[in-house]
Structure 1
Amino acid sequence: MTVADLQKPPAAAARAGKDKKPTSPYVLLFCILVVAALATWIIPAGEFQRVMKDGVSFVVPGSLHAVPQQGVLPGRIFTAIATGVVNSASIIFLILFTGGTLAVLEKTGTVAGALHRLSGASRSGDLTVIVIVCAIFSLLGTLGIVANSVVAFVPLGLLIASSMNLPVEFGVGLIYLGAYSGFNSAVLSPLTTGLSQRLAELPLFSGMELRAVVGIAFLLATIAFLALYARRCRARNIGATMTEAQRAVSDKAAASQAAMSGAQWLALGLAAVSLVVFIIGTLRWKWGEPEMTAMFLIIAIGGGLICRMGPSAIADEFLRGSGKLVPGAFIVGLARAISIVLADGKILDPIVNALSSLLEPLSPMVAAIGMFVSAAAMHVAISSGSGESAALIPIFAPLGDALHLTRQVTVQSVLLGEGIMNCINPTSGVLMAVLATSGIAYGRWVRFVLPLVGVWFVISVVSLIVGVWIHWGPL
């Protein structure tokens, strides 16, 4: 349900939904993939020289040189899709295993009972639920624990929205926007802030005070956006458009007013402890998608056995839940194929060099904003945060030095540019997987989230201006 839909009479909205079938995200990404392949024949190919340090490939500024044109042939478009699926295997299986785990916990009644308590804990309205869920996922996002893996938690958001009788956008927003409100600032994220600061030769996680303030501003804006959206839906009596499965979950949650059983509490405790262990493992031992996939498998098996499900019943429910998320899982590989085609065509480096050339004559404040906008634009081509940092920071850092920008401001401009684009980037495998999982068309999602992205944009620009003004350091 979009803001535009809210303004339509129910009959008109129903006719609009019946007459216009939303474009499949697979079709959208395939069209972008074809355009990227055509661009490899038009944009002159080039490459920067690169050096390896500590396993990271660094771009040598000013080293762009022409190479033979590497136009991508039609056959490579399809093999790139297969390569993208293979390269994204860890994320794909994480998504599938999460769907299986949630299905097992749903069968035990643990999810329904927990959702009822969450949605009914506050008699004063929806704000408590929004604050709690967004704060938790924002914290996980700013620590870099939930980024690509946010897809795994989207079904939980859909269940919350269903139990609260609110549209699916609300449920997706709770999880996805909550996580990325924290990820945008990335106060303690090793894969974005940590890598970017290392490339810029800054102390690890330095400057976190201002970055934390920015993160809180993102979180408050997200909470206010979702609260206003929920209030608008309540005022216009617009509830969830539920499938039969979602309605069954909602009915189960409504019927679970009795206290949860001891076994259900124990299964919920196992899930909570597993998540805490994973957080510790991420911070101390650099755990990633494989360990998180294993964590969900442990929760599914352990939770099912605790609630006295048989081994065959656990396996059947796990496979059923995994099957529901297959469309969302495989779309990650299709999105990855776009960056593979651009890299094969040797046109990413010339694009980066052209953007940096445009920034050279600008004043410090305008240049900082220009870096931010450039990083946002480049994120369409480089959907990986760490990949974008490795491509842009070695070029932007010396450019920022020449423009009298601190390295901290340069790093922040790249992080924020990538951050706000994650929620509307059509080449993001994570976003497209979220939309495929939740059944929301890309255009419908953009119309829903664009006001919040606009607020995030203003927060980002203001924070960069402040950073330039106070000579945010060190360095």
Structure 2
Amino acid sequence: MKNFPNAFVILLGVIFFSWLFTYVVPQGSYERFLEEETGITRVVNNSYHSVDAERPGFFDLLVSIPEGLEKGADLIVLIFLIGGCFYIIEKTGALNEGLAKLVVLLNGKESYALIIITTLFTAGGVSIGMQEEVVALAPVLILFGKSLGYNTLTMLFASYGSTVVGSSFSPSNPFAVLIAQKEAAIPLLSGGTFRMAVLLVAFLVWLVYLLRYAQKNRIEKISMNPTHQKMGVRHSIILWLLCLTFVIVILGILYLEWGFNEMSACFFALGILAALLAKMNLNKTTETYIDGMKEMLFAALIMGLANSISIILTDGMIMDTIVYGLFGPLQNFSPATSGILMMVSHSLLHFPVPSYSGQAVLTMPILVPLSDLIGLSRQTCVLAYQYGAVMADMIVPTNGALMAVLAIGNVPYNKWFKFAIIPTSLMLLIGAIAIIIAVVIGYR
């Protein structure tokens, strides 16, 4: 379809239909309380009840747009500043020179490049739940892929897709597994051996699928104008600073509880340092930075718009009704069947709740008592959540990071969905098998 709606139009449409649903779906709510020690609002189990509240008006629909942008402000700033940073590094010539050297080094060994990229981004998902960070890297990765003869879908598969797999099957993702385990009142990082084994299986299947697709869909290589001369000292320093920045950011996230603002500060500083090393004057530096931020405008707006959906559903008092409707019937099935249906329900719920950390806080207090009732271990309950909710980030159009990378790659959503549904289904199948095995072996 040549005229298939772009990411912006799709999200605006979903926001509008979410607003319409608030007039169709019965209103209801769970009781909640604020935990003073952590500052987290928690859900009281078995407290769902019908409510009769005012439905959001059309002006509330309009207000949800700026509210969504405001809610995602720190992430939007990160995307702008990383975009400006990489644009400066690109304009210094260091990035192109470094990629050109890699192209020469990998000539005839392109498959190794895909294996390395897939492994690195999977590791990023496993360790820090990397996802949004791929948005700013997408232009460079796509360019690098084309220089190796790989199309845009291949590179998005190897980068963004791999972060989703790593995040979903991770034994330690702080924004998924650890939050869910805390909500389920089980020891943090417990059950890691089983999760690691499933992760290795999923990674190998994912990698094999990627390599087969890439081999069947090669494109003509785009020349990077490689040079056999020794890389200049300034360019080498800039690229080493880039690597050092990523190391600092990862360590900050893992050990210093850094958020998006701290990451933004690091990349802002890197951009300024790169410009100074390239001997740009202050006017040229700021103008180049702004040009880079302009390149990321579409992606940043999409990230913000995705938040408006949950705002509308929550204000319309139907979010809890959706949760109750999806998970309530599970108590009528066997533990294994309930676990699989729980995973599927999490995937469906991820459409209106694009934050999987928020989904854990919303659903775990409801599902843990239900799991105890039907004989499903709490560890398996967490498995169903992480496989279903996080893996859905591959296909749900309400996920801002997905729609942003598709916008950067100029890939229509319908083309991506057709491409991604098979490998995503394979991953969910592995998750379903893992849940069955977990029930059989009494995984706790």
Indicate the TM-score class for this superposition, using the shorter chain for normalisation. over 0.9
| Pair 1:327-2:292 in alignment | no
Q: Give the alignment of 1:201-280 within 5 angstroms.
A: 201-234=185-218, 238-239=219-220, 251=223, 253-280=224-251
Question: Please, which of 133, 147, 153 is the counterpart of residue 131 of structure 2?
Answer: 147
| Pair 1:25-2:7 in alignment | yes
Q: Give the alignment of 1:3-22 within 5 angstroms.
A: 20-22=2-4
Distance 1:151 1:268 in 2: 19
1:274 CA displacement: 1.4
Cα deviation, 1:345-372, whole Å, max 9, x if unaligned, reads 1111111112222101100110100110
Distance 1:261 1:175 in 2: 29
Task: Look up the SS of the partner of 1:255 in the other structure.
Answer: coil
Q: Give the alignment of 1:231-380 within 5 angstroms.
A: 231-234=215-218, 238-239=219-220, 251=223, 253-380=224-351
| Pair 1:76-2:47 in alignment | no
Cα 1:89–1:295 change in 2 (3 A) is same
Distance 2:97 2:167 in 1: 30
1:50 CA displacement: 1.0
Task: Look up the SS of the partner of 2:353 in the other structure.
Answer: coil
Distance 2:211 2:105 in 1: 16
Moved more, 372-381 or 168-177: 168-177
Task: Look up the SS of the partner of 2:137 in the other structure.
Answer: helix
Is residue 167–residue 239 contact of structure 1 (8 Å, CA) maintained in 2? no
Cα 1:222–1:118 change in 2 (3 A) is farther
Distance 1:260 1:229 in 2: 34
Report percent identity of matched pairs: 28
Cα 1:368–1:435 change in 2 (3 A) is same
| Pair 1:189-2:160 in alignment | no
Distance 2:21 2:409 in 1: 32
What amino acid is the match of 1:447?
A: K
Is residue 233–residue 239 contact of structure 1 (8 Å, CA) maintained in 2? no
Task: Look up the SS of the partner of 1:52 in the other structure.
Answer: strand
Is residue 343–residue 388 contact of structure 2 (8 Å, CA) maintained in 1? yes
1:145 CA displacement: 4.9
Match of 1:433 in 2: 404
Task: Look up the SS of the partner of 2:332 in the other structure.
Answer: coil
What amino acid is the match of 1:194?
A: L
Distance 2:336 2:281 in 1: 63
Instruction: Give TM-score, length-normalised by structure 2.
Output: 0.96
Distance 2:295 2:220 in 1: 23
| Pair 1:43-2:25 in alignment | yes
| Pair 1:55-2:26 in alignment | no
Q: Which consecutive unaligned segments of at least 5 residues does structure 2 have?
A: none
Distance 1:149 1:125 in 2: 27
1:114 CA displacement: 2.3
Cα 1:469–1:290 change in 2 (3 A) is same
1:226 CA displacement: 2.2
Task: Look up the SS of the partner of 2:22 in the other structure.
Answer: helix
Task: Look up the SS of the partner of 1:57 in the other structure.
Answer: strand
What amino acid is the match of 2:432?
A: V
Cα deviation, 1:148-207, whole Å, max 9, x if unaligned, reads 322122122212123223221122222201211211123222221111100000111111
Is residue 328–residue 432 contact of structure 1 (8 Å, CA) maintained in 2? yes
Cα 1:259–1:170 change in 2 (3 A) is farther
What amino acid is the match of 1:312?
A: N
Task: Look up the SS of the partner of 1:142 in the other structure.
Answer: helix
1:99 CA displacement: 1.4
Distance 1:439 1:357 in 2: 40
Is residue 99–residue 155 contact of structure 1 (8 Å, CA) maintained in 2? no
1:254 CA displacement: 2.6
Distance 1:456 1:33 in 2: 29
Distance 1:325 1:257 in 2: 33
Cα deviation, 1:219-273, whole Å, max 9, x if unaligned, reads 2233222211221123xxx347xxxxxxxxx54x333343321211111111111
Match of 1:8 in 2: none
Distance 2:189 2:44 in 1: 24
Cα deviation, 1:6-51, whole Å, max 9, x if unaligned, reads xxxxxxxxxx7xxx23312111111111111111111111110112
Instruction: Give TM-score, length-normalised by structure 1.
Output: 0.90
Distance 2:59 2:402 in 1: 26
1:93 CA displacement: 1.3
Distance 1:225 1:264 in 2: 36
Question: Please, which of 92, 97, 103 is the counterpart of residue 108 of structure 1?
Answer: 92
Q: Which consecutive unaligned segments of at least 5 residues does structure 1 have?
A: 1-15, 241-249
Distance 1:232 1:385 in 2: 34
Match of 1:418 in 2: 389
Match of 2:358 in 1: 387
Distance 1:186 1:152 in 2: 23
Task: Look up the SS of the partner of 1:374 in the other structure.
Answer: helix
Cα deviation, 1:361-403, whole Å, max 9, x if unaligned, reads 1001101001100111100011111110011111111111111
Distance 2:155 2:270 in 1: 23
Match of 1:168 in 2: 152
Is residue 114–residue 211 contact of structure 2 (8 Å, CA) maintained in 1? yes
Cα deviation, 1:315-367, whole Å, max 9, x if unaligned, reads 22211111111011101121111110000011111111122221011001101
Distance 2:162 2:229 in 1: 30
Match of 2:51 in 1: 67
